Structure 1
Amino acid sequence: MPCAYHRINFMVRFILMCLATTLLSVDSVSGQNLFPGDTSFEAGSANWLGGQSVACDDAPDGKYVLQLTRPSNHSDIVYGLIQPGKTYRLSLWARTVTGLGHVELHVRHVRYGPVGKPLKMTLTKQWQKFSIHLPMQDRQRDVYLELHQPQDSVTQIDGLMLNTGNKSLDYQPQQDVVVSISTTAAPGNMLYVDETLKPLSVGVSNRTQQSQTGSLLVRTVDWYGKVLTQQQYPMTLSANTSKRMSFDALSKMTQGYFRVHADFKTKLDQPIASAMTAFGVVERPAVVTARQATFGIHPDASRVEMAALPRIGIKWLRAFYVWKWLERKSGQYALPTDLFDQAKAHQLSVLFCLKVLEKQPKQAWKPGQPAVDFAALQRMIDWLGQNAPDSVKAWEIENEPDLIYPSHLQASLLDAATAYGEVLAVAGKAFAQASPQTPVAGMATSGNQANSTFINQAHAASGDVYDIMTVHPYTGTRFIGSAIRSVAPDAYLRQRMLDMAAISPSKRLWAGEIGWAYDTREALDSDIFKTYSDYVARALILMKSVPEVERILWFKAQGCYEREHYQYGLWRSEFEPLPAAVFFANIARQLEHATAYKPVFESDLRVYTFTDSGNLPFAAAWRYKGHVEQILIDQPMAKVHVTDLLGHAVTLTEKENKTVIPLSTTPVWIRIDDLTADQLVEELGHTRIDLPPVMLTPFLCDGKELVTFVQNNLEQALSVRLAIEGGTDRSFTMQPGQTHSVTLRVSSQLVDSDLSLQAVTPQGTVTHRIEQGSLLACRQKEVEHVSASNLLTDDNAITLGNRESIYPPDPNIGWESAKDLSGRFNCAYDEKYFHFAADVTDPVHVQDAAHFRAWNGDSLQLALDTLNNAREGVFDFDNDDIELIAWLGPNGGQLAFTHTAKHPMGAIVPGAIVNITRDADVTRYRLSIPWDQMGKLSPISGRMFGMNFIVNQNNGKGRRYWLGLTEGIGEGKYPYLYRKFRLVAQ
């Protein structure tokens, strides 16, 4: 709204400026703004939830300000904004529109903490300038702002400025020209297909002293990369001015996932400013009761609006409540109601997870003692049963007790499981008495390898008082980014849920928490978000295909930050839904009321069948890996109906009188008219898989030769020319189904380059890319004994000491800093030995193993894929792989095999030179292993191999966590993830 009624004369303005200066008590000078984009709001609202950019005649900077109308408003997250070791000052102009206002501005980081104290402002209708000092942080911080104001208040702010140091600087934009795109105004930017999409506002601001002549190109792109609408606006922007245009993002409403791009280009066609946003359009969700509903989520109401969740088919919420916050004073209880109020407003049911153990301080605990005050727990649960809101439809005792109880009680895994079982017994009985109609859940374990051990032990101690197992079927390798490998859900998830169902068949089974995390540094149109969205879709279908799985609670709407740069969530920010959110909506609509029937294919091709509420069968199908691009169904095309996860019909074709269904890594739904469930299974089971003519499996064991297994996928003889692009080639003929091993010489010009391998056949060309750019060096080093070498001072030594290298990734395991566990590592070789050295910082050394089963104590594990031929989805070692364990125990330093084809498990490594010592807080490992004990690896310069190593930590009560180069040892064997090394001659 215009602000002309706030004009003031020159003298009043002068007085107010003087008052503002006294409020600041700091000097004001010009400088660089660290906030990106337009925090003077000339081009738009800069993605503030609760904010709108409005014209204002007396704006302190420019002609627009941000008007905030909600009691709680917040900005978007700015990643990497605060750097460690620096102080900052935040300043802004602010006033109230509605009268005297007491407003607080909080600076928060995404790890659920404040960056300094809140800025408390007493506002009048006149502009005032405020600033606050932000103290030095010990790590990089991803930051957002929250502004809280009284109900029905309206606050305006302008000129948000962040700079280093302790001086408040005059506002300066970080960028000279800024482009901004408004939101759709729908909750979470998710619209129903029967709603109206209003034109988006696209703004351009020129903050330079010169005019800018060019054009603004705005376009909408769908999931498949097709440009749906496009508009070009020629314009000249005078100095310090802005313009806004209306853009119709869709010519008609249709289901899908859409990105809107806006680029301001000069006459030279060079983009100098860009913006991008995303929105989804979905069908309204299926009508389903809480008791029937399958799909839920871990909300983050402080970021993604609760109103957005039902739009994608969410019916359940999982929410945490800590006992010590519910009972701050003995016998006095208080339950925050905000989440329950919102749940009721949006018809959502709540799984109330009570975190019990955190009531007690961390302490040494002895088996046989109660883990908590059981009488006090009984009283608190009695109160909860009487006062819980109606939206609470299930109780849950503890979150990931297999991590919390060993750490908090300083107990072994089995003793901790017993303690948890005893807490579950007391709490379960108390809830059954206080709220007899509400089921009780337990066993919300973290997904690590010892889950079944922990659950069995806890179950025995629990007295069988709970109704539901809410397991968390995670794998440690759940991070998706351009520089990291992750485990696809297809590799393990369905079997994990089947295993969990078998542990306790009498219990109802929920997936209480499951999700993948993605690199926040990636752009919204990055391919990693396609991978993430595919994983979400396939994970939901895989879990629903297990008949015992009753409910799936996805982690999460948005948030939870691990390994510094990785975030969970179906929304990247509250205004940026990912394709996964649209997929979730489609899957929830398809699978609510559906019943799992039978799997058809569970290899590279995945096909799972279901029956709907009318007992009509349908299937989900996709390609997990490999080269299946289509399947051929022996049914008329008119009877076959295929839709994608956006809700669109898939175009079908005919080939050899069969219906051709295209496949990709994104699932599709298949229905065939007039078939029963058994007939659909039979029809799909006899489908013809249209494979590419050959399948390539290349292994680069050194930098000089590329060995490739070539398999003929066709039922006919095939002529093949296999070639390295820019290098050598070989031609040969293959019989039907035959596999050839072909060796190609790698030219010296390509030794350190990524390689493109092509198989050219009359039926088509198959290409495979081999990446070499991330190889680590293992250098030749002539040493008489590795303990006297300087391996750890070489420039190729690897230092691990941050959160990204600690496993499991859960923040509750007890690791706080490099002082708890860190290390420096390196390898080298000579003609006789493979050398490995490590200095590990660990303040407490605990290791009493006399034999190779030493991994529960302080120890080092080393694994090598000696032929560099590990395959994706294979969770085991090959015969050419080796795994070793080194430890300093009662018999001194020892080195033994835990996997090798040459010796039995536990065999001491023959001929190895082992020197392991303890020096204050540092354990020093110096290992020299003879080449005849190194599997298929040999001391040839250029040889490549996969390698991983971890250091296990035990401070007296079992292994709490470990430090590692990658995943793939401690939580399960997965050589595919190991880092690639190359032997390099002097």
Structure 2
Amino acid sequence: TKGVYKVSPTFDRFLRIARPEYGCEPLVILDYSNALYEKNRSVETETGRQAFAAWSEFMARTYRDTVRYWEVWNEPNTNHFWEPRSNPAAYARLLKATYPAVKRGNPDAVVIAMATAGLDLGFIENVLKEGAVGSFDAVSVHAYHYPAAPEQGGRTMVEHLGELVELLARYGAAGTPIFNTEVGWPNQDDPRGVPEHASADYLARMYIQLYAIPEIKANLWYDFQNDGTRRDFNEHNFGLLHHDFTPKAPAIACRMTSMMLRNTRFVRRLETGAANVHAYQFAHADNRTLVAAWCVIGTASLTTRWEGAPLRSVSASGPIRPIRARGNLVVTELGTTPLFLEGRGKVECLPAVVTPGSAVSAPRHTVEIPMTLHNRQTRPVTGTQTVEVPDGWLGPAAKQIDIPPEKDAGSTLRITVGADAVIGRTYPIVLRWRDDAGELFGVESAAVSIRPPATLSLAPMWTPQGFALVLSGRSTLEPPPVILRAEVKGMETWGGQTKTILEKIAWVAADESRFRVLVPCPPGAVNAHAAEVAAELRLADGNTVTATREISFWRPLQKTMTADGSTADWKGVPTIPVTIFDGLHQDLWKDAADCSALLQLAWDTQALYLCLRVTDETHGQAYTGTQIWKGDSIQLALSQQSEPGVSSGSRTEFGFALTPTGERVFRWTEPRGPVDAVTCSIRRDGGETLYEAAIPWSELGIAVPSPGTTLGFALVVNDNDSGIREGWLRLFNGIAWRKDPSQFGTLFF
């Protein structure tokens, strides 16, 4: 009912006890829209804005004694949370209506704006251009940086947030408090996840660095507890705690970092003389000095000179130890976990004693790494150098060093990489130097990045003789490795048989780092669906390089069709079964009778035609617009390809659904929204749903295919039998888990 507000008892109780019983300061998000006023999850109308403002005033007044911080919307810069497409001007208008309303409810409230997914400076600037300054007290962002470390990536977190500070100042909002209301490093088992110990290191390092930016008032970790137990899903792996409430490494790092930084003020970033070593100085009111230091990668030493007595060192991972000093000098071995050094009085860092080298290599290969040792003292340095390499690697033996006063000594480390080195990882080679008395005076690590000695890729191709598989490779090392043999295995297309393709392949003479061969496919490969093909190179150096890919060999029939609810004109058109069920609730899928599908495609110079017969016991679709994917529906995506199997990066994605108000077609890519130019028929008959569509090439943003054209494609059949999206059938990846045209199959024209 319009104008009637109801707060759930659970939510109400939490807000009223959060501060007095748990010491928590609630920050409440005001979102989203109400179907009484808006069609989509956004506020675009004046009536909707006034209703939203009135509700916001009610919330601020109701909880004026318990809630001070109110954030307006969540991630309005995304089409997902502001439908059908993000609209900075409309969001600015919502801010202008909401800000005075919240202040009427509670004059002391802090109204927080933006709440962008990522650090979307473009969206924020567009909101500011609409005159939003004066309609917020603070700005929030969700400054996710994973999987990169806070100090790495295209821009560091400090650099990126610094740009936000500068942007606000340019629009007359200098000094505006910034709340980082979502940030975290999830631990899922995929390339975007990081190990648990790494997320703990990154948490501590982020809090230390951002504490040094005065405008940043809060960093809120997302989230408190793992949302589930799936190891392959990021949303189940963000927590400080496991799903069973046992602590993860980030929980310890959070506790120790907050304990050490409590009641301190930031003084300065210390100059360490090494880009890999970060050190920040903080001060207590009682003349105690705190230094937080770490390495971005590997190991290094930090030498500090203290005015007063050094007291203790505390690791962000928990251990607390006394500091061993030589006079007023402390040589500390650092790793990627921040170490807090506590003492009294002034402190300074001394220059690094070594300039490390780095190298790229492959398993079983030998690499040489240059190093330079600096003696910045006025007396000779004599002692011992030791080198630690990973298990299974070979490194040099310990050796004596003798460096004259104020001189440098160069050397080369000869390292043999172990056979078990993991491709893609970077390994530290740790060097330690001790003087003749056995005292540590330097630690450093050199980085060895492991690459495959060669790369291998697979792609389909049409030749005058029929389909073929393109097997291509590239050497990453000099000289190029010798290939002993190559094998290809197709789980479906080749009947599960391993086939030796070539023996001792020679690199192409024109470019000694590359090779490319065509492997003819058997007749059964024509119109094969999602055949998973694996290839393997066995090299003379003992290494093996593999590649696996789902590949289609499909030529849609050129024939004009009619989307009229009848399959009569589809007789004789090749049919591809859609059989792979995926998703978060795969356990709810029973068998092919529960959900399965058969796909047919055809085309002419006007349109691409689709016919999909879905077997589904129950039809569940209560959604409209951009949300139709949550119910029974299909999603079809196509992309341009620069060559067979190689996406140009762009895609067009359509959704088709039989809703309570009839057939609906929605396009999630630009121009985003409902599509009237697509002829669509969706009929439900017993336990089967028949989808037919004629999609004009103009709506796909693709030119009419000419002979030899290839397009990338993928299909998802969403299944909702019990009020939730249980999962989906898929023909190729690249739609449901993440939008990635490089995973699409290929259509040949």
Give TM-score scaled by structure 2 length: 0.55
Task: Compare relative contact order (CA 8 Å, sep 6+) and give the higher one, 1 or 2.
Answer: 1
Answering whether residue 71 of structure 2 is matched by residue 410 of structure 1, we say no
Measured in 2, the distance between the counterparts of 1:814 and 1:617 equals: 58
1:499-531 deviations in whole A, cap 9, x for unaligned?
22222132221111211212389xxxx993322
- SS of 1:489's equivalent in the other structure is coil
1:617 and 1:648 map into 2 onto residues whose CA distance is 19
Mapping for residues 529-548 of structure 1, pairs under 5 Å: 529-548=196-215
Matches within 5 A, 1:490-639: 490-491=151-152, 492-505=156-169, 506=173, 507-519=176-188, 528-560=195-227, 564=233, 566-573=236-243, 575-601=245-271, 603-613=275-285, 617-628=289-300, 630-635=301-306, 638-639=309-310
Query: What is the CA deviation profile of residues 55-89 of structure 1, one whole-angstrom value per residue up to 9, with x for unaligned ones?
Result: xxxxxxxxxxxxxxxxxxxxxxxxxxxxxxxxxxx
Deviation at 1:547, TM superposition (A): 1.4
Q: 1:699 aligns with which of 340, 360, 366?
A: 360
Q: What is the identity, as a one-letter code, of the residue corresponding to 1:513?
A: E
CA distance in 2 between partners of 1:407 and 1:393 (Å): 24
User: Which AA in structure 2 matches 1:440?
Assistant: V
**What are the superposed Cα offsets for residues 144-179 of structure 1, whole Å, 9 maximum, x if unpaired?**
xxxxxxxxxxxxxxxxxxxxxxxxxxxxxxxxxxxx
Q: Which residue of 2 aligns with 1:427?
A: 98
Distance 1:431 1:707 in 2: 64
- Work out whether residues 501 and 548 of structure 1, in 8 Å CA contact, stay in contact via their aligned partners in 2: yes
Q: Which has the higher mean CA deviation after the structures are superposed, 646-655 or 758-767? A: 758-767
2:15 matched residue in structure 1? 340
Structure 1 letter corresponding to 2:14: L
In the TM superposition, what is the alpha-carbon distance from 1:575 to its structure 2 partner? 3.9
Aligned to 1:391: 66
Letter in 2 for 1:437: D
Unaligned runs of 5+ in 1: 1-328, 479-485, 805-811, 828-832, 846-854, 859-886, 895-912, 923-949, 955-959, 967-986
Instruction: List aligned pairs for 1:679-828, cutoff 5 A.
Output: 680=347, 683-684=348-349, 687-689=350-352, 691=354, 695-700=356-361, 707-715=367-375, 777-778=456-457, 788-790=467-469, 793=531, 794-795=533-534, 796-799=547-550, 819-820=634-635
Match of 1:487 among 148, 151, 160: 148
Counterpart residue type for residue 113 of structure 2: G
Distance, in Å, in 1 between the alignment partners of 2:336 and 2:250 is 13
Question: Identity percentage over the alignment?
Answer: 15
CA contact (8 A) 1:547 1:595 kept: no
Q: Give the structure 1 partner of residue 687 of structure 2.
A: none
Gap change, CA 1:578 and 1:797, over 3 Å in 2: closer
* Distance of aligned partners of 1:473 and 1:642 in 2 relative to their CA distance in 1, 3 Å threshold: same
d(CA) in 2 for partners of 1:464, 1:407:
24
Matched length: 507
Q: Distance in 2 between matches of 1:435 and 1:442?
A: 17
Give the C-alpha shift of residue 382 in structure 1.
Answer: 3.2
Q: Deviations over 1:683-738 (max 9, x none)?
A: 13xx24355xx7352213x7786554422244489999999998999999999768
Letter of the 1:510 counterpart: F
1:844 aligns to what?
654
The answer to whether the 8 Å contact 2:394/2:416 transfers is yes
User: For residue 22 of structure 2, what is the amino acid of its counterpart?
Assistant: H
> Does residue 1:457 correspond to 2:126, yes or no?
yes
Deviations 1:324-382 (A, max 9, x none): xxxxx322212231212331322432112111336579857999x52761232233233
What is residue 946 of structure 1 aligned with on the other side? none
| Unpaired stretches in structure 2, ≥5 consecutive residues | 376-380, 435-442, 471-529, 535-546, 552-579, 585-625, 656-667, 672-698, 717-731, 744-749
* Contact 1:843–1:921 (Cα < 8 Å) also in 2: no
* Counterpart code for 1:376: A
Q: Which of residues 938, 943, 963 in structure 1 aligns to 2:740?
A: 963
Contact 2:366 2:414 in 1 (8 A): yes
- The 3-state SS of whatever aligns with 2:242 is strand
SS, match of residue 321 in structure 2: coil
Are the equivalent residues in 2 in contact too, given 1:444–1:472 (CA < 8 A)?
A: yes
Q: CA deviation at 1:665?
A: 1.8
SS class of match (2:294): strand
Residues 705 and 745 of structure 1 are in contact (CA less than 8 Å); yes or no, is this contact kept in structure 2? yes
Q: Which amino acid aligns with 1:382?
A: E
Q: Is 1:663 aligned to residue 334 of structure 2? A: yes
Q: What SS does the aligned partner of 2:77 have? A: helix
CA distance 1:748–1:920, shift in 2 (3 Å): closer
Secondary structure in structure 1 of the residue aligned to 2:280: strand
Which residue type is aligned with residue 549 of structure 2? I
- Retained in 2: the 8 A contact 1:696–1:708? no
Distance change >3 Å, CA 964–CA 550, structure 1 → 2: farther
**Structure 1 equivalent of residue 440 of structure 2:** none
Match of 1:447 in 2: 118
Verify the 8 A CA contact 2:141 2:179 in the aligned structure 1. yes
**Cα distance, 1:426 vs. partner?**
0.9
Amino acid at match of 1:497: L
TM-score between the two structures when normalised by the length of structure 1: 0.43
Q: Which residue of 1 aligns with 2:603?
A: none
Between 1:434-443 and 1:557-566, the stretch displaced more is 557-566
Relative distance call for 1:364 and 1:468 in structure 2 (3 A) is: closer
Cα RMSD between the aligned structures?
Answer: 5.6
- Per mean C-alpha deviation after superposition, the further-off stretch among 788-797 and 393-402 is 788-797
* In structure 2, distance between residues paired with 1:760 and 1:708: 14
Q: Tell me what 1:129 maps to.
A: none
Query: Residue 585 of structure 1 aligns to a residue in which SS?
Result: helix
Local SS of the residue matching 1:330: coil
Output the CA distance in 2 between the equivalents of 1:638 and 1:406.
56
Instruction: Please state how far the C-alpha of 1:585 moved relative to its aligned partner.
Output: 2.6
**Which amino acid counterpart does residue 740 of structure 2 have in structure 1?**
L
What letter matches 1:798 in structure 2? Answer: R
Secondary structure of the corresponding residue to residue 383 of structure 1: helix
1:872-891, CA deviations, whole angstroms, 9 ceiling, x for partnerless residues?
A: xxxxxxxxxxxxxxx99567
Tell me the CA shift for residue 560 of structure 1. Answer: 3.9
